[in-house]
Amino acid sequence: MRLTENDRALLAGDAGEAAAMAMNLVVTVGEAMGAASLIDITGAHVDSCLYHGLVSLEFAERLAASGGKVAVPTTLNVASLDLLHPDLVRRDPETTKRAKALMDAYVAMNCLPTWTCAPYQLHDRPRFGEQIAWGESNAIVFANSVLGARTNRYGDFLDICCAVVGRVPAFGLHTDEGRRATVRIVVNVPDRWLDDDLIYVALGHLLGQEVGTEVAVVSGLDDRADEDRLKALGATAASSGAVGLFHVAGVTPEAATVDEACQGKSPTRTLTVDETALRRAIADLSSTLTRLGAVSVGTPHASLQEIQRIAHLVSGRQTRVPFYINTGRDVLADAELAGLVAPIESFGARFVTDTCTYITPIMEVPAGAVMTNSGKWAYYAPGNLGVDVVLGGLADCVESAAIGQIVLRGLR
């Protein structure tokens, strides 16, 4: 790899042990990926603050103890604790101590304690064309696809190392060529289907399975594919596949047309998605259990707009099952200012911040299936928590909770 004088100085330890350790990982991985050089970044989002065992902590403490500080503004992902609502988390004290030490290590490296998997909902978010290093699969795909910022799929450890040196290997989604759509997906469904939230989850599921790591351009959607729906689409696609970027013709910023997304070339293949395929995708993500045990929404973290919708839907009602809403602490503060929190809490729902119900032991063992509006939650919760999941739109989640039975009025 071609390194600048400054890159080589960092690697040699001229800027301290932590910068050398970080540059070593960035260069080693970059060379393995075939990158020819490094480029500057303007920001980072670090997923490594989520505790996965001693390796998480030993890596972070080594970097922090040797003087590691981020060189660019860096936000932090969800962690393994809810610092605002500690009574919610039921975890053994030893793991809790380590999870907290891990969070402290990243704050000590000057990362911002945002604790959200949806950093694109923060007031300050990357602009079009900005080069960034983001971890968290759903955030990566949102930054690339919806914001038009440029990030590869950074895993734990590498995200913080890129933030410390302010540099990333130049390849893949950081380059024009790497952002070209090679697969075309044509959505061919009745127009009213595009009003249903679940379509975007189902489409994401199919997209991830069909394209794997390739870049797709989707046509047949319109501006009803708003940020919350694109969030759901991308998060599900990044769970069923390794999707880092998708385009939606006429909607996302690098795809005024299919041709622009393909950069004037022909896609290597075209797939058509119809009603049957979308119904099958929903069924794939959903158990057939009929008893409702709990509801969890907000994976990725609920936006202010979603919390507004929930506040409207719950008005005058009462939940009959445990109901959790995962969101970022900054969004929750905005929701509080907007007067949205009190009506939702009087419905009986609990807000979870800083973490998420599928990565941290929060729920009691539910007496039935857990209903969610999230394809990502539906993907991971059965393995993580051993629960059965039923997928439904936000309105159906609230309706089901209020009557204590699974109601599915949306498309099936």
Q: How far is CA 91 from the centre of its chain?
A: 24
- Nearer residue to another protein within complex by CB, 136 or 197: 136
Question: Rounded to the nearest 10 degrees, what angle do helices 227-240 and 197-211 cross at?
Answer: 30
Give me the 193-212 binding string for another protein, x by CB under 8 A, dash otherwise.
---------------x---x
Residue 289 found at the interface with another protein (CB under 8 A): no
What does R_g of the chain's alpha carbons equal in angstroms? 21
Tell me, what amino acid is at 363?
A: M
Binder among 3, 13, 17, 62 for another protein (CB under 8 A): 62
Residue 29 found at the interface with another protein (CB under 8 A): yes
Give me the 172-191 binding string for another protein, x by CB under 8 A, dash otherwise.
--------------------
- Nearer residue to another protein within complex by CB, 268 or 305: 268
246-248 and 269-273 strand pairing: unpaired
Helix boundaries (H) for 227-300: 227-240, 258-261, 275-284
Residue 286 found at the interface with another protein (CB under 8 A): no
Residue 241 found at the interface with another protein (CB under 8 A): yes
Are 84 and 115 in contact, with CB atoms under 8 Å apart? no
Span of 122-130, 151-159, 196-204, 348-356 interacting with another protein by CB under 8 A: 151-159
Phi-psi sector, 315: left (phi>0), alpha (psi -120 to 50), beta = beta
Binder among 83, 101, 242, 403 for another protein (CB under 8 A): 242
Are 47 and 135 in contact, with CB atoms under 8 Å apart? yes
What is the DSSP code (8-state) at residue 245? -
Tell me, what amino acid is at 7?
A: D
Distance CA 53, CA 170 (A): 31
Q: Residues in contact with another protein, total (CB under 8 A)?
A: 45
Are 329 and 58 in contact, with CB atoms under 8 Å apart? no
- Nearer residue to another protein within complex by CB, 238 or 395: 238
Q: How far is the CB of 52 from another protein (least distance, A)?
A: 4
Are 272 and 190 in contact, with CB atoms under 8 Å apart? no
Span of 22-30, 190-198, 313-321, 332-340 interacting with another protein by CB under 8 A: 22-30
Are 81 and 354 in contact, with CB atoms under 8 Å apart? yes
Give me the 351-390 binding string for another protein, x by CB under 8 A, dash otherwise.
----------------------------xx-xxx------
Span of 57-65, 182-190, 246-254, 313-321 interacting with another protein by CB under 8 A: 57-65
Half-sphere exposure of 46 (CA within 13 A, CB side): 34
Residue 135 found at the interface with another protein (CB under 8 A): yes
- Nearer residue to another protein within complex by CB, 190 or 383: 383
Positions touching another protein (CB under 8 A) are: 21, 24-25, 28-29, 32-34, 47-48, 50, 52-56, 58-59, 62, 135-137, 140, 152-159, 208, 212-213, 238-242, 284, 379-380, 382-384
